[in-house]
Structure 1
Amino acid sequence: MNYQNLKIGDAVPVSNRRGVTGRQLPEPKWHALRVRPGKEKASRETLRAYGVYSFFPVEERTRFFKGKRIVTEHAQVTQIIYARFKHQPQWDVLQDRKIITGVFCIGTSPIVLGADIIRAVQGLPTRAEELQAAREALMRIGEGDSAEVLGGPLAGLVVDVTKVRGGQVWWQTLAGIKGQIDRDGLRKLNVA
């Protein structure tokens, strides 16, 4: 209705349309949402238009039609999308507007997904995996590093690494003694 052309005495309809989200949450929450079959992309785009980041795992399929290459995006798992809500979701409004058909719940409480679960769904490493990889990279022995021999008659000897190739490490002591050892036989020193 055009509210600019109102005259005194005209009836004004009360609009009580609620939005798809309500009050702001202290921290964003991830939820797994059920959608109509084949409508994952439409639901994702609708949620994004309302300011809710959402995604679903996709696979690209390529086909050729009349000599043209056509790439289409298809859901790997149908009828599920994942959404990050910064504001409290209004589940009934989302369902009434046919954006979603439901939300995964335990009883009547929607399940809040952790960041590691979302990263796994996205095919990204979890925080623990990232930390483990960073630790391994930090402890990896390279040329110019100081290391300690772990076993054998030279256990405890501090050496300078001169060359690393494959799983083998060549080293030299301050006294000029040279040797070769398996990478697992050394422990890197002076890790910052």
Structure 2
Amino acid sequence: MGRPTLEEAVVLKQRILDQTLASIREKGSCDFSVNHIAELAGVTKRTIYRHFLTKANLIDAVVVREIDRLRDGLLDADEVRGEDPMARLEIWSRMLFDLNLKDEAIAFAAFIDFEANRDPEMRARQRQWYARVVEQAVTLIEAAKHVSAINAMDSETLAVLLIDLLGGGSHRHRSAWAGRDIFASDAQREHFAVRWKAFYLLTR
């Protein structure tokens, strides 16, 4: 069998990333192993290391892909909501808010936190990933400032405040206060609306 084509290599790489993400979400930190991912993806361990060199590089590729999907999802949403900068920022914010509330995303975040607490390299990468999300928010905020939709504070400060506000939903979800379904019915949408309004008032 010859070497895979470029297209086949891209498909293979995405399959490895898919199975890595699935394994982390399902098993968490305790049972995460490259051997298990290789089995799920139908490839050898050597093939995985040929693409990603180290386990840390593999995890990094998964996280960066998920972050960039926020940006790609926003581009798709433009077809519905148009080019208004504040609307773009709100769409992106709702996407991040909803993503943070998914059970699999919470499990993935817990895995990353666990790895970052015991591995300085992973901790450094975690900071880089956070900066990547902040960068997306800053770009959108700057666009809103350009049309005078936002007038307060510097863009990075606003970006960090917005991400902090959006992260509150996942904290509530994890705590499951009094065993209640915190986001039953329309509560999730309303929770986002309150936090978006708080951010909007900060920008005045």
Higher fraction of strand: 1
Above 0.5 in TM-score? no
Higher fraction of helix: 2
Report the TM-score range of the alignment, normalised by the length of the smaller protein.
under 0.3
Highest Rg: 1 or 2?
1
TM-score, with structure 2 as normaliser: 0.19
* Higher RCO (Cα < 8 Å, 6 or more apart): 2
